[in-house]
Structure 1
Amino acid sequence: MRNIGCCTWIFDNEPIEETARRVKDIGLNGVELHGNIHSIDPVQAGKIFADQGLQIFSITPGDADISHPDRIIRQDAVDYYKQLIDWVLKINQTPSPPLISCHGLVQRIRPVSNQEEENNLLVESIKQICNMARQVNTEIVFEVLNRYESHQVRTLREGLNLIEHVKSPNLRLLADAYHMNIEEANPAASLREAGEYIGLYHAADSNRGAIGEGHTDFTSQMIALNDIQYQGPIILEIAAPGPDPFNTNKGEGFKEILEQQLKKSVNAIRAFNN
């Protein structure tokens, strides 16, 4: 049976002890932990989730502008990933550390200088990040976003082009059903084209809700994941209904709504894979 997790950031700034108990009660197998290197003790986090029998599958990064034309801003962003890699290793998860997700500054939807320059800068920064991660046997998954969140790498084909230019054996792609709903003409076909380069898969329906609450064809995507022999987890990154997609706190009772959405999604995924 395929492992299923969820992103911890969807519960806002909830203490991770509460999140671990909540995730366990929902019936998930693990989490994608928010990489808040200043507020979360990685040693403690590793123990909290392990004590609940949960795995930390991957890490959601903080925002960092790794393709900004200003060298100082860009270097600060790369330095964040250096700190994040060190932080992840302290989680001390065996047999392998969590995957580290990587992307540019969310909501920067146009170049500061020009597209070509910033695409080249993105490649150079990803090379540095992958090199740092490779030295400690850690893998990077680059998340393919959408046009409303990024001006770079918005389709899996563009992600494959990034991999071709970076040329690092520890770089793969994070495919997200919500983003693909916006950018991909045929998400299932795109998953097949990316094939072995899919390192992680996020799931939320077309309205960022639970699986089955929108119009995304998850059956075709699950078949595609099976066809490419994707062995990783499905990470749920859903949100309770309401405005402001970048703020998961939708007001009183939103966590209870999220719990029901997560349970509904887990049941749907397990039905697909039976």
Structure 2
Amino acid sequence: MRHIGCCTWIFGNEPIEQTAQRVKKIGLNGVELHGDIHSINPVQAGKVFADKGLEIFSITPGDADISNPDSAIRQKAVDYYKKLIDWVLKIDQQPNPPMVSCHGLVQRIRPISTQEEENQFLIESTKQICNMAQQANIEIVFEVLNRYESHQVQTLKEGVHFLEKVKAQNLRLLADAYHMNIEEANPAGALQEAGTYIGLYHAADSNRGAIGEGHTDFKAQIMALNNIQYYGPIILEIAAPGPDPFNTNKGEGFKEILEQQLKKSIESIRALNS
């Protein structure tokens, strides 16, 4: 039975002890931990989740503009990933340290210079990040976003081409059902074609809600994941109903709504024999 986790950022700035307790109560197997290197003590985080029998599958990065044409901004972004990799090592989850997710600055949806130049900067920065991670024995997954969040790498096909240019052995793709709902004509087919390039999978329905609350064909997608022999975790990245998709706090009671959405999603995924 495939493991299921959730992103911790969906609960806002809740202390990790509370999040771990929620996640365990809901019946999840682990989490994708927000890479807040300034506010979260990695040693403590590793212990908190391990004590609950939960695995930290992966890390959601903070925003960093790794393709900005300004070399100082770009270097600061790469430096953040260096700090993030060091932070992940302190979690001390052996023999399987969490994967680190990577992407450009969310909500920068157009180039500052030219698309061609910034695409090249993205390749160069990702190579640096992968080299640093390789030395720490950490896997990197590049998240394929959508046109409303990024102007770069919006489909899995583009993601495969990107990986072929970066040429890093520890780099694969993070496929996200919500983003695919926007960008892919056939999400399950895109997963099938990407094959072994898929390193992690995020799930939220077409409305960013619980599995089964929208129109995404998860049966087809999970079948595709099985066909390509992806048996890694399904990471739920859902949001309670309300305005502002980039702010998880939808008002009073939103965490309780999230709990119900996560429970419903687990039931739906399990029903698909995943």
TM-score surpassing 0.5?
A: yes
Mapped pair 1:252 → 2:252: yes
Which residue does 1:57 correspond to in 2?
Answer: 57
The two structures have a TM-score, normalised by structure 1, of 0.99
Amino acid at match of 2:125: S
In structure 1, what is the Cα distance between the partners aligned to 2:13 and 2:63?
16
The equivalences for 1:87-98 within 5 A come to: 87-98=87-98
Mapped pair 1:223 → 2:228: no
Which residue does 2:102 correspond to in 1?
Answer: 102
Mapped pair 1:183 → 2:180: no
For residue 225 of structure 1, give the secondary structure of its aligned residue in structure 2: helix
- State the Cα distance separating 1:273 from its structure 2 match: 1.4
**Structure 2 stretches of 5 or more lacking a match?**
none
**Structure 1 stretches of 5 or more lacking a match?**
none
In structure 2, what is the Cα distance between the partners aligned to 1:271 and 1:47?
32
- State the Cα distance separating 1:94 from its structure 2 match: 1.3
In structure 2, what is the Cα distance between the partners aligned to 1:181 and 1:273?
22
Which residue does 2:264 correspond to in 1?
Answer: 264
The equivalences for 1:1-274 within 5 A come to: 1-273=1-273
For residue 175 of structure 2, give the secondary structure of its aligned residue in structure 1: strand
- State the Cα distance separating 1:96 from its structure 2 match: 1.5
In structure 2, what is the Cα distance between the partners aligned to 1:158 and 1:145?
11
In structure 1, what is the Cα distance between the partners aligned to 2:71 and 2:257?
43
Q: Deviations over 1:31-64 (max 9, x none)?
A: 0000000000000000000000000000000000
In structure 2, what is the Cα distance between the partners aligned to 1:21 and 1:184?
36
In structure 1, what is the Cα distance between the partners aligned to 2:89 and 2:61?
15
**Paired residue total:** 274
- State the Cα distance separating 1:136 from its structure 2 match: 1.1
Q: Deviations over 1:59-109 (max 9, x none)?
A: 000000000000000000000000000000000001121000000000000
In structure 2, what is the Cα distance between the partners aligned to 1:79 and 1:206?
34
Amino acid at match of 1:106: V
In structure 1, what is the Cα distance between the partners aligned to 2:252 and 2:96?
38
CA RMSD of aligned residues (A): 0.5
- State the Cα distance separating 1:218 from its structure 2 match: 0.5
In structure 2, what is the Cα distance between the partners aligned to 1:273 and 1:34?
29
Amino acid at match of 1:89: L
- State the Cα distance separating 1:128 from its structure 2 match: 0.2
Amino acid at match of 1:62: G
In structure 2, what is the Cα distance between the partners aligned to 1:115 and 1:15?
39
For residue 90 of structure 1, give the secondary structure of its aligned residue in structure 2: helix
In structure 2, what is the Cα distance between the partners aligned to 1:114 and 1:227?
38
In structure 2, what is the Cα distance between the partners aligned to 1:43 and 1:270?
32
For residue 32 of structure 2, give the secondary structure of its aligned residue in structure 1: strand
The two structures have a TM-score, normalised by structure 2, of 0.99
Amino acid at match of 2:106: V
In structure 2, what is the Cα distance between the partners aligned to 1:232 and 1:2?
7
Ranges of 4+ aligned residues in structure 1 off by more than 2 Å: none
